[in-house]
Protein backbone atom coordinates (compact mmCIF):
# COMPACT_ATOMS: atom_id res chain seq x y z
CA UNK A 1 0.00 0.00 0.00
CA UNK A 2 1.46 3.29 -1.08
CA UNK A 3 1.41 6.03 1.56
CA UNK A 4 2.00 9.65 0.57
CA UNK A 5 2.17 12.66 2.85
CA UNK A 6 2.08 15.64 0.49
CA UNK A 7 -0.77 17.24 -1.44
CA UNK A 8 1.37 17.29 -4.57
CA UNK A 9 1.92 13.53 -4.50
CA UNK A 10 -1.82 12.74 -4.23
CA UNK A 11 -2.67 15.22 -6.96
CA UNK A 12 -0.01 13.80 -9.31
CA UNK A 13 -1.15 10.22 -8.73
CA UNK A 14 -4.86 11.00 -9.25
CA UNK A 15 -4.10 13.14 -12.31
CA UNK A 16 -2.24 10.21 -13.85
CA UNK A 17 -5.12 7.81 -13.11
CA UNK A 18 -7.60 10.20 -14.67
CA UNK A 19 -5.41 10.56 -17.77
CA UNK A 20 -5.62 6.79 -18.06
CA UNK A 21 -9.41 7.10 -17.98
CA UNK A 22 -9.77 5.51 -14.52
CA UNK A 23 -12.41 6.44 -11.92
CA UNK A 24 -11.41 7.36 -8.38
CA UNK A 25 -13.24 6.75 -5.11
CA UNK A 26 -12.30 8.54 -1.89
CA UNK A 27 -12.72 7.49 1.75
CA UNK A 28 -11.86 10.21 4.29
CA UNK A 29 -11.02 8.89 7.78
CA UNK A 30 -9.21 9.78 10.97
CA UNK A 31 -7.45 6.41 10.98
CA UNK A 32 -7.35 3.58 13.50
CA UNK A 33 -9.40 1.72 10.94
CA UNK A 34 -11.94 -0.99 11.71
CA UNK A 35 -14.44 -3.00 9.68
CA UNK A 36 -16.72 0.04 9.41
CA UNK A 37 -14.03 1.92 7.52
CA UNK A 38 -13.21 -1.32 5.69
CA UNK A 39 -16.78 -1.52 4.37
CA UNK A 40 -16.47 2.00 2.92
CA UNK A 41 -13.17 1.12 1.21
CA UNK A 42 -14.62 -2.15 -0.15
CA UNK A 43 -17.64 -0.33 -1.56
CA UNK A 44 -15.38 2.32 -3.10
CA UNK A 45 -13.23 -0.42 -4.65
CA UNK A 46 -16.32 -2.06 -6.12
CA UNK A 47 -17.55 1.15 -7.72
CA UNK A 48 -14.25 2.73 -8.83
CA UNK A 49 -10.99 1.71 -10.51
CA UNK A 50 -8.83 3.29 -7.79
CA UNK A 51 -9.43 4.13 -4.13
CA UNK A 52 -7.75 6.86 -2.09
CA UNK A 53 -8.03 6.79 1.70
CA UNK A 54 -7.09 9.82 3.76
CA UNK A 55 -5.93 9.40 7.34
CA UNK A 56 -5.88 12.70 9.14
CA UNK A 57 -6.87 13.51 12.72
CA UNK A 58 -8.21 16.94 11.91
CA UNK A 59 -7.35 19.28 14.80
CA UNK A 60 -9.93 21.95 13.91
CA UNK A 61 -12.91 19.64 14.48
CA UNK A 62 -11.95 18.87 18.11
CA UNK A 63 -13.06 21.05 21.02
CA UNK A 64 -10.53 22.11 23.69
CA UNK A 65 -11.72 19.43 26.13
CA UNK A 66 -11.95 16.62 23.55
CA UNK A 67 -9.66 13.70 22.78
CA UNK A 68 -7.42 15.15 20.01
CA UNK A 69 -4.13 14.29 21.71
CA UNK A 70 -5.20 10.80 22.78
CA UNK A 71 -6.97 9.82 19.54
CA UNK A 72 -5.67 6.31 18.67
CA UNK A 73 -3.21 5.99 15.79
CA UNK A 74 -1.66 2.98 14.04
CA UNK A 75 -0.64 3.69 10.45
CA UNK A 76 0.88 0.24 9.93
CA UNK A 77 -2.34 -1.54 10.81
CA UNK A 78 -4.38 1.04 8.86
CA UNK A 79 -2.24 0.37 5.84
CA UNK A 80 -2.88 -3.39 6.06
CA UNK A 81 -6.65 -2.95 6.52
CA UNK A 82 -6.79 -0.51 3.59
CA UNK A 83 -4.91 -2.91 1.35
CA UNK A 84 -7.09 -5.90 2.29
CA UNK A 85 -10.23 -3.86 1.60
CA UNK A 86 -9.02 -2.89 -1.86
CA UNK A 87 -7.48 0.57 -1.31
CA UNK A 88 -4.70 1.86 -3.59
CA UNK A 89 -3.29 4.97 -1.96
CA UNK A 90 -3.24 6.45 1.54
CA UNK A 91 -2.94 10.21 1.99
CA UNK A 92 -1.40 10.71 5.42
CA UNK A 93 -0.53 14.38 5.86
CA UNK A 94 0.95 16.21 8.85
CA UNK A 95 -1.00 19.17 10.25
CA UNK A 96 1.48 21.55 8.59
CA UNK A 97 0.68 20.11 5.16
CA UNK A 98 -3.03 20.78 5.67
CA UNK A 99 -3.03 24.10 7.52
CA UNK A 100 -0.91 27.18 6.89
CA UNK A 101 0.06 29.02 10.08
CA UNK A 102 -2.27 31.86 9.10
CA UNK A 103 -5.06 29.62 7.74
CA UNK A 104 -8.27 31.65 7.89
CA UNK A 105 -10.94 30.22 5.55
CA UNK A 106 -13.75 28.05 6.92
CA UNK A 107 -17.00 26.49 5.69
CA UNK A 108 -20.08 26.94 7.90
CA UNK A 109 -23.16 24.85 7.18
CA UNK A 110 -26.09 26.48 8.97
CA UNK A 111 -29.40 25.05 10.18
CA UNK A 112 -28.80 21.31 10.13
CA UNK A 113 -25.79 21.77 12.43
CA UNK A 114 -27.88 23.35 15.20
CA UNK A 115 -29.09 20.19 16.96
CA UNK A 116 -27.62 16.77 17.79
CA UNK A 117 -23.77 16.77 17.85
CA UNK A 118 -23.76 20.35 16.51
CA UNK A 119 -25.22 21.74 19.73
CA UNK A 120 -22.93 19.65 21.94
CA UNK A 121 -19.71 20.16 19.99
CA UNK A 122 -19.56 23.85 19.01
CA UNK A 123 -17.37 24.38 15.95
CA UNK A 124 -17.16 20.65 15.23
CA UNK A 125 -19.01 20.68 11.91
CA UNK A 126 -17.23 23.86 10.82
CA UNK A 127 -14.01 21.89 11.24
CA UNK A 128 -15.45 18.84 9.49
CA UNK A 129 -16.90 20.75 6.51
CA UNK A 130 -13.68 22.73 6.12
CA UNK A 131 -11.37 19.72 6.13
CA UNK A 132 -13.68 17.71 3.87
CA UNK A 133 -13.87 20.43 1.21
CA UNK A 134 -10.07 20.72 1.41
CA UNK A 135 -9.71 16.95 1.00
CA UNK A 136 -12.18 16.97 -1.90
CA UNK A 137 -10.09 19.68 -3.59
CA UNK A 138 -6.87 17.79 -2.93
CA UNK A 139 -7.98 14.31 -3.99
CA UNK A 140 -10.35 15.36 -6.76
CA UNK A 141 -12.17 12.00 -6.75
CA UNK A 142 -15.34 11.07 -8.64
CA UNK A 143 -17.08 9.65 -5.57
CA UNK A 144 -16.66 9.93 -1.79
CA UNK A 145 -17.89 7.39 0.77
CA UNK A 146 -19.31 8.29 4.19
CA UNK A 147 -20.79 6.15 6.96
CA UNK A 148 -24.34 6.58 8.22
CA UNK A 149 -22.84 6.08 11.68
CA UNK A 150 -22.13 9.83 11.57
CA UNK A 151 -25.58 10.70 10.25
CA UNK A 152 -25.38 14.43 10.91
CA UNK A 153 -21.92 14.60 9.33
CA UNK A 154 -23.30 12.89 6.22
CA UNK A 155 -26.16 15.43 6.10
CA UNK A 156 -23.67 18.30 6.47
CA UNK A 157 -21.48 16.98 3.63
CA UNK A 158 -24.49 16.43 1.35
CA UNK A 159 -25.70 19.97 2.06
CA UNK A 160 -22.25 21.47 1.47
CA UNK A 161 -21.81 19.59 -1.81
CA UNK A 162 -25.25 20.71 -2.97
CA UNK A 163 -24.95 24.33 -1.86
CA UNK A 164 -21.40 24.87 -3.13
CA UNK A 165 -21.85 22.90 -6.37
CA UNK A 166 -18.98 20.55 -5.65
CA UNK A 167 -18.53 18.05 -8.46
CA UNK A 168 -18.47 14.80 -6.49
CA UNK A 169 -20.96 12.01 -5.79
CA UNK A 170 -21.53 11.30 -2.09
CA UNK A 171 -22.22 7.63 -1.34
CA UNK A 172 -23.80 6.82 2.06
CA UNK A 173 -22.81 3.47 3.61
CA UNK A 174 -24.66 1.52 6.36
CA UNK A 175 -23.45 1.28 9.97
CA UNK A 176 -21.24 -1.75 10.63
CA UNK A 177 -21.69 -3.30 14.09
CA UNK A 178 -19.92 -5.77 16.33
CA UNK A 179 -21.65 -9.15 16.79
CA UNK A 180 -23.40 -7.82 19.92
CA UNK A 181 -24.62 -4.73 18.00
CA UNK A 182 -22.23 -2.11 19.35
CA UNK A 183 -21.56 0.25 16.45
CA UNK A 184 -17.91 -0.02 15.44
CA UNK A 185 -15.86 3.04 16.35
CA UNK A 186 -12.18 3.88 16.72
CA UNK A 187 -13.12 5.19 20.16
CA UNK A 188 -14.31 1.75 21.37
CA UNK A 189 -10.65 1.04 22.16
CA UNK A 190 -10.92 3.48 25.09
CA UNK A 191 -13.53 1.26 26.84
CA UNK A 192 -12.62 -0.97 29.78
CA UNK A 193 -14.14 -4.47 29.84
CA UNK A 194 -16.91 -3.21 32.13
CA UNK A 195 -17.56 -0.17 29.97
CA UNK A 196 -17.58 -2.26 26.80
CA UNK A 197 -20.45 -4.29 28.28
CA UNK A 198 -22.23 -1.14 29.47
CA UNK A 199 -21.92 0.41 25.98
CA UNK A 200 -24.54 -2.05 24.71
CA UNK A 201 -27.22 0.25 26.15
CA UNK A 202 -26.87 2.50 23.09
CA UNK A 203 -27.98 -0.06 20.51
CA UNK A 204 -30.50 -1.57 22.96
CA UNK A 205 -32.13 1.83 23.49
CA UNK A 206 -32.36 2.41 19.74
CA UNK A 207 -33.83 -1.04 19.19
CA UNK A 208 -36.49 -0.40 21.87
CA UNK A 209 -37.35 2.85 20.17
CA UNK A 210 -37.63 1.22 16.77
CA UNK A 211 -39.96 -1.48 18.16
CA UNK A 212 -42.11 1.12 19.92
CA UNK A 213 -42.49 3.11 16.69
CA UNK A 214 -43.38 -0.10 14.84
CA UNK A 215 -46.00 -0.75 17.53
CA UNK A 216 -47.59 2.62 16.84
CA UNK A 217 -45.98 4.98 19.37
CA UNK A 218 -45.96 8.45 17.79
CA UNK A 219 -44.93 10.72 20.67
CA UNK A 220 -41.23 11.55 20.42
CA UNK A 221 -41.30 12.69 24.06
CA UNK A 222 -42.34 9.18 25.14
CA UNK A 223 -39.86 7.55 22.78
CA UNK A 224 -36.98 9.66 24.11
CA UNK A 225 -37.99 8.78 27.67
CA UNK A 226 -38.04 5.09 26.76
CA UNK A 227 -34.47 5.37 25.45
CA UNK A 228 -33.32 7.37 28.50
CA UNK A 229 -34.64 4.63 30.78
CA UNK A 230 -32.64 2.03 28.86
CA UNK A 231 -29.46 4.12 28.89
CA UNK A 232 -29.76 4.65 32.64
CA UNK A 233 -29.85 0.91 33.31
CA UNK A 234 -26.10 1.17 33.75
CA UNK A 235 -24.49 3.59 36.18
CA UNK A 236 -21.53 4.02 33.82
CA UNK A 237 -23.57 6.02 31.29
CA UNK A 238 -24.36 9.70 30.97
CA UNK A 239 -26.65 10.95 28.21
CA UNK A 240 -25.18 13.75 26.09
CA UNK A 241 -28.28 13.93 23.91
CA UNK A 242 -31.11 11.77 22.64
CA UNK A 243 -33.03 13.36 19.78
CA UNK A 244 -35.63 12.42 17.21
CA UNK A 245 -35.45 14.74 14.21
CA UNK A 246 -36.83 15.02 10.72
CA UNK A 247 -34.48 12.97 8.54
CA UNK A 248 -34.26 15.74 5.93
CA UNK A 249 -34.07 19.01 7.86
CA UNK A 250 -32.72 17.49 11.11
CA UNK A 251 -35.24 19.71 12.95
CA UNK A 252 -36.87 18.34 16.12
CA UNK A 253 -40.27 16.69 15.74
CA UNK A 254 -43.01 16.12 18.34
CA UNK A 255 -44.74 13.35 16.50
CA UNK A 256 -43.65 10.59 14.13
CA UNK A 257 -45.41 11.62 10.91
CA UNK A 258 -42.64 11.34 8.33
CA UNK A 259 -39.18 9.77 8.13
CA UNK A 260 -37.08 10.47 11.21
CA UNK A 261 -33.51 10.13 12.38
CA UNK A 262 -33.28 8.78 15.93
CA UNK A 263 -29.84 9.68 17.21
CA UNK A 264 -28.02 9.62 20.51
CA UNK A 265 -24.68 10.44 22.07
CA UNK A 266 -23.84 8.85 25.41
CA UNK A 267 -20.77 9.00 27.59
CA UNK A 268 -19.70 5.56 28.82
CA UNK A 269 -17.23 6.53 31.48
CA UNK A 270 -15.18 9.23 29.73
CA UNK A 271 -15.79 7.89 26.22
CA UNK A 272 -18.42 9.60 24.12
CA UNK A 273 -20.18 7.17 21.77
CA UNK A 274 -22.80 7.89 19.10
CA UNK A 275 -25.34 5.72 17.33
CA UNK A 276 -28.53 6.18 15.32
CA UNK A 277 -31.10 4.73 12.97
CA UNK A 278 -33.40 6.19 10.38
CA UNK A 279 -37.06 5.22 10.42
CA UNK A 280 -38.51 5.62 6.96
CA UNK A 281 -42.20 6.30 6.47
P1 LIG B 1 -13.78 8.42 11.34
O2 LIG B 1 -12.45 7.82 11.08
O3 LIG B 1 -14.40 7.99 12.63
O4 LIG B 1 -13.80 9.91 11.11
O5 LIG B 1 -14.75 7.82 10.24
C6 LIG B 1 -14.44 7.87 8.86
C7 LIG B 1 -15.64 7.40 8.08
O8 LIG B 1 -15.97 6.07 8.47
C9 LIG B 1 -16.89 8.24 8.33
O10 LIG B 1 -17.59 8.42 7.11
C11 LIG B 1 -17.67 7.41 9.29
O12 LIG B 1 -19.06 7.64 9.25
C13 LIG B 1 -17.34 6.02 8.80
N14 LIG B 1 -17.57 5.04 9.87
C15 LIG B 1 -17.05 5.05 11.13
N16 LIG B 1 -17.54 4.01 11.86
C17 LIG B 1 -18.39 3.34 11.04
C18 LIG B 1 -19.21 2.19 11.19
N19 LIG B 1 -19.27 1.51 12.33
N20 LIG B 1 -19.95 1.79 10.13
C21 LIG B 1 -19.90 2.46 8.95
N22 LIG B 1 -19.15 3.56 8.74
C23 LIG B 1 -18.40 4.00 9.76
**With b meaning 16 or more CB within 10 Å and e meaning fewer, what string describes 205-236?**
bbeebeebbeeeeeebeebbebbeebbeebeb
What residue's CA is closest to ligand 1, atom 19? 184
Tell me what the mean pLDDT of segment 47-55 comes to.
98
Atom of ligand 1 nearest to the CA of 186: 3
CA dist 219 and 247 (Å) reads 16
Q: What is the greatest pairwise CA distance in the chain?
A: 58
Q: Would the CA dihedral through 14, 18, 22, 26 be positive or negative?
A: positive
Atom of ligand 1 nearest to the CA of 149: 12
Contact yes or no for 177/203 (Cβ under 8 A): yes
- Residue 147: count other Cβ atoms within 10 Å of its Cβ: 22
Contact yes or no for 52/27 (Cβ under 8 A): yes
What digits encode the pLDDT tens for the residues 124-146? 999 999 999 999 999 999 999 99
- Residue 165: count other Cβ atoms within 10 Å of its Cβ: 6
- Residue 27: count other Cβ atoms within 10 Å of its Cβ: 32
Task: Decide: 30 in ligand 1 pocket, CB within 6 A.
Answer: yes
Closest CA to 264 of 273, 256, 255: 273
- Residue 92: count other Cβ atoms within 10 Å of its Cβ: 19
What digits encode the pLDDT tens for the residues 200-247? 999 999 999 999 999 999 999 999 999 999 999 999 999 999 999 999
Atom of ligand 1 nearest to the CA of 183: 19
Enclosing H/E stretch for 89: strand 89-91
Cβ neighbours for 97, distance < 8 A, ≥ 6 positions apart:
5, 6, 7
Q: What percent of the chain has pLDDT over 90?
A: 100
**With b meaning 16 or more CB within 10 Å and e meaning fewer, what string describes 3-13?**
bbeebeebbeb
Helices 200-214 and 220-231, packing angle to 10 deg: 150
Task: Decide: 243 in ligand 1 pocket, CB within 6 A.
Answer: no
Q: How far is the CA of 82 from the centre of ligand 1 (A)?
A: 14
Contact yes or no for 132/139 (Cβ under 8 A): no
Active site residues: 37
What residue's CA is closest to ligand 1, atom 14? 147
CA dist 246 and 107 (Å) reads 23
**With b meaning 16 or more CB within 10 Å and e meaning fewer, what string describes 106-136?**
ebebeebbebbbbeebebbbbbbbbbbbbbb
What digits encode the pLDDT tens for the residues 98-130? 999 999 999 999 999 999 999 999 999 999 999
The neighbouring-strand residues paired with 170 are 144
Task: Decide: 149 in ligand 1 pocket, CB within 6 A.
Answer: yes
Task: Decide: 61 in ligand 1 pocket, CB within 6 A.
Answer: no
At residue 159, the pLDDT reads 98
Give residue 64's pLDDT band: very low, low, confident or very high (50, 70, 90): very high
At residue 217, the pLDDT reads 97
Task: Decide: 183 in ligand 1 pocket, CB within 6 A.
Answer: yes
Backbone angles phi, psi at 198, to 5 degrees: -65, -30
At residue 277, the pLDDT reads 98
Amino acid sequence: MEIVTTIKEVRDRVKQWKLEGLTVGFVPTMGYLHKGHGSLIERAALENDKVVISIFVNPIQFGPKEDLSSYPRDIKRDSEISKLAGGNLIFYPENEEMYFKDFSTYVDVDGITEGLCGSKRPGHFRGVATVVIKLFNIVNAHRAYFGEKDAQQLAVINRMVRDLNIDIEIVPCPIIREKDNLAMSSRNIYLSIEEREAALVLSKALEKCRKAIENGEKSTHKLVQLMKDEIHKTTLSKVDYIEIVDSGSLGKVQEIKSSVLVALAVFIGKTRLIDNFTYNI
